[in-house]
Structure formats: structure tokens, C-alpha cells
Amino acid sequence: MGIPDNIQRLIDGRGYTVNEMGMSGSKIMVFDDCVLKIVGHRQENEDAVRLMRWLEDKLPVPKVLAFESDGEHHYLLMSKVKGKVSCDKYYLEHPRELLDMLAKAVRMLWSVDISDCPRCRDVDAELKEARYRIDHGMVDIENAEPTTFGEGGFKDPEELFAWLETHKPAMEPVLSHGDFCLPNIFIDGDSIGGLIDLGDTGIGDKWRDLALCWRSLKHNFDGTYGGKVYPDFDPDMLFDVLGIEPDREKLRYYLLLDELF
């Protein structure tokens, strides 16, 4: 892949590292003060970039410095957010501090006026994308939760998709991050330094973000991610800090929906 000339001029000769965290299949080049994300044509498209620009004065998100497409890939050059990733060892060793900051990030998202939000990522939009992924063999069942497919679970992605279509929950609309997991939330002291990976951000159900955050907390603390177990942690504490009762049916629905992504 060849980086477009106008972006290449902005990064030419500068050192960088490659961030391989996450499972999006994108290439992420991290410079001192900016980040270049290179993704396939169905990711981080013009709608997502328009949403990022809309958010620049509303939330701590990366500023779009340049965006180009060559038909096969999108090239998004962004400013670099401040702080440490929320799955940093420090925050895993200080779970109450982590939970307080995650709750702050959730409330920031919910506080955004979505009346003129330029992008909708509701259940129907997600199911449309899931259908495409199934049809093109893009669902990786090897990375699914052990109970999702097979004995006691769904036979295959098709059966899961059929269940999702017939069990769509009523939406509680908010600005949804879309992938509200610990690697996508940066903490800078007592502030949210930034929210990144906004490819699925838009108007959506608040329980999708809560479901993915709950799962991210669970697996960062139980050793699934990173290999180290941090004992005596219950991801349900997220709901305690937010002061809300967990809706188990919606949490399950959005966790199952995410298995197709």
C-alpha cells in the first residue's frame, strides 16, 4: 500500500512505532504527536471521519489532520490523544480509580446532544454490517467467547444472526462510542485524555457501550487479555459506580452481536 502524497509529506522522515493492539486488522503508525491509521475500504470511511470532525469541540477525540482514500484503503492521519490507555497496569492495580474514570467517560458520551449527530449506528445498521461480514466469511468464531458457538450455544454465525434479528431490543439512544473497550479510552490524570477508534461511533443504544466495557473489564482482570489475573474484581462494579441496574438481557444481546465483528 502506498501512502498518499499529501499525507506522506506530513510524516516524511519522522520515526514511528506500529501499534498492534486490537483486532480490527488495521495498520496503526504512531508518531510523537500524531497517528496514521490505514484500514480497508469498509472501515473508518467518510461517514466516520465526518463524525470525528463533528465531535472535535464536544469530546476529547483525535483531530482529523488529513484523510485520503485510494479505493482499497483509507488513510486517516489524526492528532495523538493524551494520557495512558485505561488497561495500563497502573489502572488494573487501582480498579476503583479506573472505574471512576470509565464512568466519567460514559457520562461524557451520554451528555452529548445527538439531535444533529451525522451518523446512526443503531441495531439495524449493525445487523446490516454483520450480514455483510457473514456473507463474505469475515466472522472469526475462533475468537468468540467459549459458550457462543458449539454445544450449548449457536450452531454457527447464521443461527446467531437469525436470533439477533428476532430479539432486537428497544433502543435507549445516546451517543455510542461503538467499541467502548479499555484500549480505546485514555486517562490523563483525573481527566479523560481521549477516546479513540471511533469507526463505529454514532447514535446507538447505551447498552452496547456498557456491554463491551463490562466484557473488556472482565477479561482484562481475569487474565484473558494480557495473561495476568487481578483477583477480587467484579465487572458488575461498573454499574455500581454508574448508579444503574444492569439490564442483563440487553447486555447479552450486544455481547452476542459483537461476536459477528
The active-site residue out of 5, 47, 179, 205 is 179
- The three grid cell numbers given for residue 41, joined into one nine-digit string: 475500504
Spatial distance between the Cα atoms of 153 and 149, rounded to a whole number of angstroms? 5
222 among known catalytic residues: no
Spatial distance between the Cα atoms of 129 and 238, rounded to a whole number of angstroms? 29
Spatial distance between the Cα atoms of 64 and 71, rounded to a whole number of angstroms? 20
Whether 238 contacts 98, CB under 8 Å: no
**Active site (catalytic) residues:** 179
